[in-house]
Structure 1
Amino acid sequence: MTITPLNPVAKQDGSTKKQVKKQTATAELDVKPAEQPDERLSAEERLSYARTVDRYLVHRESLGEVFLTDLQPIDRDSYAAAAQLPRSHAYYGDHLLRPNTYDPVLLLEACRQATLAGAHLFFEVPADHKFILTHLSVSLTQPRWITVGQSPFPLAMRVTVVDRKEREGRVTGVDSAIELSMDGTVLGRATVGLRFKTPTSYLSLRLNNRDGVALPSSAAHPPRLLGTPVAPHLVGRANPDNVVLVDAHTDGDTARARLRIPADHPSMFDHAQDHLPGMVLAEAARQLALLTVLDARGVSAVKAFPTALEVIFSSFGELEEDTTLTAELGDRSAPGPEEQLCYTQGGVLDLAELHDDGHPPAGGADLLPVRIDVQQGEKQLCVFTVTMKRIQAAPPAPGR
């Protein structure tokens, strides 16, 4: 099944986003009879990576920020989704880790897009509804398979709705569990929680949160930099535009920093927002976790990889308020006598295989869990747990 706009003729005539959003997103078959997929194949085997879905299905303005390529229904509560991960990207590809490895935050973004598009296509959530993230998580059980190679990465996702919320016959929320795989190999698991609001109810909710004060827009957020930015290499970045922490301080197993709001960033703020996006807070948490393990354990961003990230959001982050992140390093698992060396498309990567719960086997990987509390004043926005894995890179074996 190939996803197409509900009204392709109107789109060709230059219809505006407003016209498209008035429609309830649906899917239709756009294949010739000879090209019908073999029904004997599984939903994952029928997935297509030929082109991306309509950008409005995943709430993105830029085509370059759309990674989802297809969705295939399985049953009432589950479906398969496909995403092609870019080998090069100004934001998701800007990392110092070697061998070059796909960003777990990119995997989370692919999951976010899959659950959003699935809500529109399979659960009839109207295209103009606003969505609210309630929780996110990703845990990589086979991280050695996600190094960047010579071919595009065909990510497959099996999405199962574990909780569906309805009101007056319409879906108002879905909590999804997602199995991540590539060519049949399970790489890990993720979860995404979404709640949906009509434009009117969303505005009412936000105004109530703000005691009636009008909503701001990131498009009008002042571009000036307040505070001293963290050096990019300390948080695994080469491009300073991708750094979101300022005024960082470390003390033993703890670290603290303020959030720089990158309102003009083409990926983190793909379109104007009236609040801090959850994915921006995820990036900030990842960067502070890297800074913490560097200062507390001497593990540089070149040798640290986040194998797991989870968060529960409790409040909206306001654009006008100062946002503070505080990190604390937890107990680590002791490294075993034998670490696995895995040959990948990008070289040799030392990432011991993890169990399905994201924990290492007995005597396995050296994992560094970091808890990050995000606050605005006395209000807690969310709490992250980021698990960093110390890795060792070696030159390719002779003959490879």
Structure 2
Amino acid sequence: MISYEEAYRSVLGAAGDFGSEQVSLNAAHGLILAEDIRADRDFPPFDRATKDGIAIAHEAYENGVRSFEIEGIAAAGSPRQILQGRKNCIEVMTGAMLPENTDTVVMYEHINIDKGTAFLERAVSSGQNIHKKGSDEPKNALVLKKGTKIEAAEIGVLASVGKAQVLVKKLPKITVVSTGNELVNVDEKPLPHQIRKSNGYSLDAVLRVEGIKCNLLHINDFEEEIKKELAAALRENNVLLLSGGVSKGKYDYLPKILQELGVDKEFHRVAQRPGKPFWFGAKADGRATVFAFPGNPASTFASYHVYFLPWLRRSLGLPLTEHSVVLGEAFENATGLTRFIRAEAHLKGGRLKATLVMGNGSGDLTSLALSNGFVRFNPETNYNEGDLVPFYPTKRILQ
């Protein structure tokens, strides 16, 4: 049995790379850029008006002109106009190209128009109300770095530089596997000795948050059936997330079967609660990684957030995120195990404060719904109210 710290380092050290692929812009949200994005032209690509009003040559204003005959109107999206008379003006709309021979825009609120002539009512500064060509980004400037997660703002940037197709990092192909004769489908009425499948649905839901659509597979506790199904799953997936079958029971076949299928064990059993029987390994050719979590709901849920999510972020080249909360109560971990305790964290006075949700053991599924994360406690350590401790969020934290 190894420590939590050793297990965590081992998992991160096994992070992989799933390659890259071209996707359409409307399918890129939530994915990770696999290329640098550069401006294909100056941004903005021309001097543009930032207010509705008139465009003038400031030189005329400096020479005492205060009324300007209107020559025409420049709308956004229309070709650039040319001011013919240096003492005249052209009406411009927001976003329009600044007419040639003009260098200043005066907003409508600061002029009075009468019979085709605009009269100034305020002082005018040279170059006002103009968004200069290339002032945001010059042509070929780096606008998005490789490794950036594509959110709504990035979608807008990609569209503005004409990236209809985007090179992104592939997400892993994942199958979630549950084992056990005691499990029945959600729509079935279980017998007294049975329970409905839940871990697979929980893992499917949290993977969807990461943009990953997984396959769900259930295998009964028959050794040959498990071996056959896992052999196929290992060929077809980058990752297997298994729930159950790794403890010391007589029907916990997974460690033996995984070894027979050529999956090299990195470790089995971690000095932690919940999740002590956690098994982790990978195929020697690096094509598939296996996270075999204990079957109890809290064990599976905690192990996913503590180990799998950091592994996924490292594999995709994303920075690891660390969260801390202030303890709302004292806690004594008198065991030699790292403890992951369910907690409800909330913002209070600008700080994230956690109230522990002790639950009724690792099989207590309902207490997971009452919490929004796990607090980590070191072995044989006493904690006081107000201490800062590591926190693994499982839901969005609300005020």
TM-score, normalised relative to structure 1? 0.23
The structure with the larger Rg is: 2
TM-score, normalised relative to structure 2? 0.23
